[in-house]
Chains A and B, each alone.
Chain A
């Protein structure tokens, strides 16, 4: 099992959700996050007073999946979240040791 983590631009959320739904992803966790990468934060001068905008708002998605579906999921996210501008985000993949559905106690692939 793998955990796919994607950081995307907030306005792309709906498109990504649809794209993932279309390839059969049934569940995900969505978090409002802030951060920066190469896009960097920047300092703004607004009418003489300075506001530091050091973290930019992003959306973080977490999806647990079978090893074999990782590539399909990555493709779906890339296809839907890309604007080809700086700040489009990143995708990480991590191994997952165990999953448990709390209600039933099912484990492993059954619990996804």
Chain B
């Protein structure tokens, strides 16, 4: 105990022992006396804080002093009333009760002092007494909150007002009639057990939600409120209230009776003590009730609490790091307690119901479909798998369930199994990557993984970011929380209905390798804790991580690229002249592939969104989108400026891919292929696809008419068909016709012709129900038909005629939809874009393709979508010289003719 706390204790006993008679019952003398004692107490508290008194110790001492003080005021007033009435033995059925935080026996220096006057009967005299007590306190300069109620009144108010009920839950008799107090206690307790208990947990959870909403659901805000923020004092109070409701008289019972592990309880108590200490300092500094730990307060109180500037961090940064570590412990403790209680209540509600256990692999089980538990018969089974801890999280992600408190404790207790072997294990890596490749819900798993310490153990480079404070008046969260929030921003894209996010969301939906993007997001700020120039420092840490995890070279190089460039896009969009074509060209050159550009765009969005709410706004989003679009256009049209260099890079990547896959395709072959492909192929095709095309080209022998490769893409829910064959007029119409007969829908088509006349087409197709086409038999038939069509054994018209559905409407029209055919010369540099909106028919695409073939027009690219009953297609068309169709009258004529055909649903053969 510090000397000043001793002084306070002495003041307290002085007050208790001073006979009031010593004041001669003179009101002014008494007032002067207690005023002086109060001032002295204030000084003691201030000094005790500087002497380093514990937070809880200080608050308790303060409360004890106030107890003595208030009791004495009450006794003085009571004596006065008795004298006035002339009956020294008169009894006053009134009790003075401390409630709220004061009732709990904790008072921060400027906290509210909440008093309840409990009374029964004799209202007249009692109100005189109450008035007299209050006047004394007011005259002594004390600010208090008070209420005066009968017991039945208390119960009535408790029923109506949840906050008052909570305040009265913590009560202590300060002075007055013990009888009244005990009566109240009995009745109130009965009320809590009978009425309130069932709804209490729900109410507490709702209250917590409300509080988090109005502050921030994250513990790691850089300017927290030590009382109300997540992980603040209030969280712990809620636990105390619940513990009381459920009959725990002492806090120690929590772990004694097995509600929580002792270690976690002790951590939470330490955290609580730390927060109280900060709060006391905030109160003393502001000389008022102030719980906001903002930047200026942090800078001022850090030295006062004994923090000093260190080489790599300011005193206030050290303070905040401690704050976050403690707040995190408190937050986790409270969440676990809530969940344990929830489970307990559920098991009691259905007395005879056994939880449903669904065993999973590795000694894990799913309980009641929503909680991951350990197999009770052998709780250590999971450790037989050396990377079992990672498995726990993969299961959690896969089933979207929560971890039981038991599992959490298990993970915490076995973090030492994460050794070098674990970190280098392909099993652990694959589990980790499977989690990261999800479209949504990844963040909650990563949050859990980080909260339990596994993320920092698995990727040690990430650990220094934990609770790392970034003082830049820009970031709102600590570095680790910021990083996890970038993942959340990505998750949000999957379901967002926000119009301002539609462009990013669109790209995210089409993104294949989201796990690489997520890895880059996880690593993008790891240099932050190593001092200034964090981009460079993040990058330099990467090769070790990539090597350790054993990531393939191509993925590693994308991650390195994304981390090194993670600021480029926002800086360029906001601070460079994007009207400058050289700038755009250089940017495109840096990106190398469209996939990289798109990943960087998503990463930029996620990074900015996670800085603080409102930073990714429409304004910034428009700026960055403009840059993205311009760069994309340069890449897709393949402007000549850097063509050669870019081709070399792509050849390099493809040969890397070839070596990784053990393919025999050599560098020269790849270079030859790339040279003879059109520009837009070079920029718009991922290396692994290029490799596959070359391999298929080799396989396509002289006798074979075509080579078909089919892959099912489960994530996108479609099938990718790659077709290689010799070019011929109307080829696209033949293919589209075959799709029509087999009732396959084309979502996207890319059509390329190599200089030697080899056609490389890719189609994204789905069946009539919009799912991937996995029926092998159907594909065999399709292959045969297509071969016959290509070799002219089979006439397209005759073939189409076999399909009864050909050109029938897919859905009955409820009203007439107009056909719309329009062209746009500005959308693409090297092709005219023809947009077609028409009622969706079976084989519509075949019909349009036939029309183009008939007119001698080539299709270089097609984007096919269906909106309701309408097909909305865009065709990138060129004339027989491969150029834009510049003749306006020809274009108009094309539009008119096509509209007519589409409107009548007429087979093309009829006009030939």
**Is A53 located at the chain interface by the 8 A CB criterion?**
yes
Q: A33-B619, A48-B873 known; A53 and B626 CB under 8 Å?
A: yes
Minimal beta-carbon separation of A35 from chain B (angstroms):
11
Closest to B506 in A: A49
Given the complex of chains A and B, what is the CA–CA distance between A83 and B579 in angstroms?
A: 10
> A11, A34, A48, A49: which has the most chain B beta carbons within 10 Å?
A48
**Is A44 located at the chain interface by the 8 A CB criterion?**
yes
**Chain B residues positioned under 8 Å from A13 (CB to CB):** 575
Q: Are B575 and A11 in contact (CB under 8 A)?
A: yes
Given the complex of chains A and B, what is the CA–CA distance between A57 and B500 in angstroms?
A: 14
Minimal beta-carbon separation of A3 from chain B (angstroms):
23
Q: Are A34 and B874 in contact (CB under 8 A)?
A: no
Minimal beta-carbon separation of A87 from chain B (angstroms):
8
Closest to A47 in B: B863
Minimal beta-carbon separation of B293 from chain A (angstroms):
25
Q: Are B833 and A45 in contact (CB under 8 A)?
A: yes
Q: A45-B827, A45-B833 known; A57 and B622 CB under 8 Å?
A: yes
Contact code string A1-45 (vs B, CB < 8 Å = 1, else 0): 000000001110110000000000000000011100000000011
Given the complex of chains A and B, what is the CA–CA distance between A83 and B826 in angstroms?
A: 24
Closest to A10 in B: B574
**Chain B residues positioned under 8 Å from A56 (CB to CB):** 622, 626
Minimal beta-carbon separation of A16 from chain B (angstroms):
12
Q: Are A9 and B619 in contact (CB under 8 A)?
A: no
**Is A103 located at the chain interface by the 8 A CB criterion?**
no
Q: A34-B618, A44-B629, A48-B874 known; A11 and B574 CB under 8 Å?
A: yes
Contact code string A64-87 (vs B, CB < 8 Å = 1, else 0): 000000000000000000010101
Given the complex of chains A and B, what is the CA–CA distance between A33 and B503 in angstroms?
A: 20
Given the complex of chains A and B, what is the CA–CA distance between A33 and B623 in angstroms?
A: 11
B612-645 CB contacts (< 8 Å) to partner A: 617-620, 622-623, 625-626, 629
**Chain A residues positioned under 8 Å from B502 (CB to CB):** 51
**Chain B residues positioned under 8 Å from A51 (CB to CB):** 502-503
**Chain A residues positioned under 8 Å from B343 (CB to CB):** none
**Chain B residues positioned under 8 Å from A87 (CB to CB):** 579
Given the complex of chains A and B, what is the CA–CA distance between A33 and B872 in angstroms?
A: 34
**Chain B residues positioned under 8 Å from A33 (CB to CB):** 619
Minimal beta-carbon separation of A100 from chain B (angstroms):
26
Q: Are A85 and B827 in contact (CB under 8 A)?
A: no
Minimal beta-carbon separation of A27 from chain B (angstroms):
18
For chain A, the count of residues having a C-beta within 8 Å of the partner chain is 22
Q: Are B622 and A34 in contact (CB under 8 A)?
A: yes
**Is B425 located at the chain interface by the 8 A CB criterion?**
no
**Is B576 located at the chain interface by the 8 A CB criterion?**
yes
Given the complex of chains A and B, what is the CA–CA distance between A13 and B835 in angstroms?
A: 40
Given the complex of chains A and B, what is the CA–CA distance between A49 and B874 in angstroms?
A: 9
Closest to A34 in B: B619
Given the complex of chains A and B, what is the CA–CA distance between A3 and B663 in angstroms?
A: 70
Minimal beta-carbon separation of B302 from chain A (angstroms):
28
Given the complex of chains A and B, what is the CA–CA distance between A49 and B626 in angstroms?
A: 16
**Is B824 located at the chain interface by the 8 A CB criterion?**
yes
Q: A45-B824, A45-B833, A45-B874 known; A53 and B575 CB under 8 Å?
A: no
Q: Are A14 and B622 in contact (CB under 8 A)?
A: no
Closest to B875 in A: A48
Q: Are A9 and B617 in contact (CB under 8 A)?
A: no
**Chain B residues positioned under 8 Å from A48 (CB to CB):** 835, 863-865, 872-874
Q: Are B503 and A14 in contact (CB under 8 A)?
A: no
**Is B577 located at the chain interface by the 8 A CB criterion?**
yes
Contacts across chains A and B counted by CB atoms under 8 Å? 56
Closest to B571 in A: A11
For chain B, the count of residues having a C-beta within 8 Å of the partner chain is 29
Closest to B579 in A: A85
B27-50 CB contacts (< 8 Å) to partner A: none
Closest to B833 in A: A45
Minimal beta-carbon separation of B866 from chain A (angstroms):
11
Closest to B873 in A: A48
Q: A11-B574, A85-B579 known; A49 and B865 CB under 8 Å?
A: yes
Minimal beta-carbon separation of B532 from chain A (angstroms):
20
Contact code string B553-580 (vs A, CB < 8 Å = 1, else 0): 0000000000000000000001111110
Q: Are B874 and A57 in contact (CB under 8 A)?
A: no
B625-676 CB contacts (< 8 Å) to partner A: 625-626, 629
Minimal beta-carbon separation of B631 from chain A (angstroms):
13
Q: A34-B618, A48-B865, A48-B873 known; A10 and B579 CB under 8 Å?
A: no
Minimal beta-carbon separation of A33 from chain B (angstroms):
7
B843-891 CB contacts (< 8 Å) to partner A: 863-865, 872-874
Minimal beta-carbon separation of A18 from chain B (angstroms):
13
Closest to A86 in B: B579
Q: A11-B577, A32-B617, A48-B874 known; A53 and B622 CB under 8 Å?
A: yes
Given the complex of chains A and B, what is the CA–CA distance between A56 and B618 in angstroms?
A: 10
Contact for B577 among A9, A14, A32, A44, CB less than 8 A: A9
**Chain A residues positioned under 8 Å from B618 (CB to CB):** 34
**Chain B residues positioned under 8 Å from A92 (CB to CB):** none
Given the complex of chains A and B, what is the CA–CA distance between A53 and B617 in angstroms?
A: 15
Q: Are B833 and A14 in contact (CB under 8 A)?
A: no
**Chain B residues positioned under 8 Å from A83 (CB to CB):** 577, 579
Given the complex of chains A and B, what is the CA–CA distance between A105 and B200 in angstroms?
A: 52
Given the complex of chains A and B, what is the CA–CA distance between A57 and B619 in angstroms?
A: 6
**Chain B residues positioned under 8 Å from A85 (CB to CB):** 579
Q: A45-B824, A45-B833 known; A57 and B872 CB under 8 Å?
A: no
**Chain A residues positioned under 8 Å from B626 (CB to CB):** 53, 56-57
Closest to A14 in B: B575
**Chain A residues positioned under 8 Å from B576 (CB to CB):** 11
**Chain B residues positioned under 8 Å from A49 (CB to CB):** 506, 865
**Chain B residues positioned under 8 Å from A14 (CB to CB):** 575
Closest to A33 in B: B619
**Chain A residues positioned under 8 Å from B619 (CB to CB):** 32-34, 57
Closest to B872 in A: A48
Minimal beta-carbon separation of A9 from chain B (angstroms):
7
Closest to A50 in B: B835
Given the complex of chains A and B, what is the CA–CA distance between A75 and B824 in angstroms?
A: 42
Given the complex of chains A and B, what is the CA–CA distance between A10 and B619 in angstroms?
A: 10
Given the complex of chains A and B, what is the CA–CA distance between A76 and B284 in angstroms?
A: 49
Given the complex of chains A and B, what is the CA–CA distance between A10 and B872 in angstroms?
A: 36
Given the complex of chains A and B, what is the CA–CA distance between A111 and B6 in angstroms?
A: 53
Closest to A55 in B: B622
Minimal beta-carbon separation of B741 from chain A (angstroms):
25
Minimal beta-carbon separation of B621 from chain A (angstroms):
9
**Chain A residues positioned under 8 Å from B824 (CB to CB):** 45
**Chain A residues positioned under 8 Å from B617 (CB to CB):** 32
Q: Are A57 and B577 in contact (CB under 8 A)?
A: no
Minimal beta-carbon separation of A88 from chain B (angstroms):
10
Minimal beta-carbon separation of B892 from chain A (angstroms):
19
Contact code string B185-216 (vs A, CB < 8 Å = 1, else 0): 00000000000000000000000000000000
**Chain A residues positioned under 8 Å from B625 (CB to CB):** 53
**Chain A residues positioned under 8 Å from B874 (CB to CB):** 45, 47-48
Given the complex of chains A and B, what is the CA–CA distance between A57 and B863 in angstroms?
A: 30
Given the complex of chains A and B, what is the CA–CA distance between A47 and B578 in angstroms?
A: 21
B573-591 CB contacts (< 8 Å) to partner A: 574-579
Contact for A57 among B503, B506, B623, B864, CB less than 8 A: B623
Instruction: List 5 contacting pairs A-B, 8 Å CB cutoff, sorted by A.
Output: A45-B874, A48-B863, A48-B864, A49-B506, A55-B622
A-B contacts besides A32-B619, A57-B626, 18 pairs, CB < 8 Å: A10-B574, A10-B623, A11-B574, A33-B619, A34-B618, A44-B827, A45-B827, A45-B833, A45-B874, A47-B874, A48-B863, A48-B872, A48-B873, A48-B874, A49-B506, A53-B625, A83-B577, A87-B579
Interface residues of B (CB under 8 A from A): 502-503, 506, 574-579, 617-620, 622-623, 625-626, 629, 824, 826-827, 833, 835, 863-865, 872-874
- Which 7 A-B pairs rank lowest in CB-CB distance, beginning with the nearest? A48-B863, A45-B827, A48-B874, A32-B619, A57-B623, A57-B619, A57-B622
